[in-house]
Amino acid sequence: MLWVGEPRGEPYPKLDEGNSTLSRMDEIAIQFAVERLQARYVACIDDDRLEEWPAFFAERCRYQIISNENYSRKLPIAVFVATSQGMLKDRVAALREANIYEAQRYRHLVSSTLILENVGGVVRAQSNYHVVRIMQDGATALFSTGRYLDCINLTGATPVFEEKLVICDSRRIDTLLAIPL
C-alpha cells in the first residue's frame, strides 16, 4: 500500500461524523488531490502566470495573507485580503498595470500537507510553505515562511480554494510584498 504506517496520537485525518465511512483509498485520494492542487497553485505563481491565479479560487472566496502575530492574537489586519475572486483579479491587474516594483520572482516549496477535516468533499488542510525571492540581478533570499490553512472544495470538476489563509511566520516583510504567496 501507499500508506506508510498508521496515524499516531490524534485520529488522523479527523473525519467528520457524516463521512466516517470514508475508506483509506478516499484518504489517499484526498491527500493526492490537495497536494496536486498546491503544486499547480505554486507553479502558477512561480511561472508568473498570475492571470490564471484567481481561477484557483471559488467565486466567493477568502484569500488572506496575515502575520502569525496578528492571527494568533486575533488581530484582524492582513497584509492583503480578498473576499471575492474579483478582488484577486484586481490584485493581478494592479500588479501588471499600476504598481511599481523591481522585477522579481518566487520559488515556492510546499510540504507537510495535513488533511484536518473533510465535510462532504470540502476539505480543510494545512501545509507549510517556504518562499525564496529571486531579484532581477540574481540576489536570492528567503522571503517568507509559514503555513497555508486551506478550505478546498473537491466536489467540482476542478478543485478550488474556498478559503486560503497564508499565515506568515514573521511579521517582517522585506521591502514589499507584490506577488501573492
The residues that touch other proteins, with contacts defined as CB under 8 A, are 65-67, 69-70, 75-84, 86-87, 89-90, 93-94, 97-102, 171-178
User: Nearest approach, Cβ of 118 to other proteins (angstroms)?
Assistant: 30
Looking at the Cβ atoms of 79 and 122, the one nearer to other proteins is 79
Looking at the Cβ atoms of 84 and 145, the one nearer to other proteins is 84
Q: What whole-number distance in Å separates Cα of residue 12 and Cα of residue 116? A: 8
The residue with cell 510553505 is 129
User: Nearest approach, Cβ of 18 to other proteins (angstroms)?
Assistant: 32
Pairing of strands 122-135, 80-82: unpaired
User: Nearest approach, Cβ of 5 to other proteins (angstroms)?
Assistant: 39
Hey, which bits of 34-120 come out as E strands? 57-67, 80-82, 104-119
Looking at the Cβ atoms of 61 and 123, the one nearer to other proteins is 61
- Asked if omega into 13 is within 30° of 0 (cis), the reply is yes
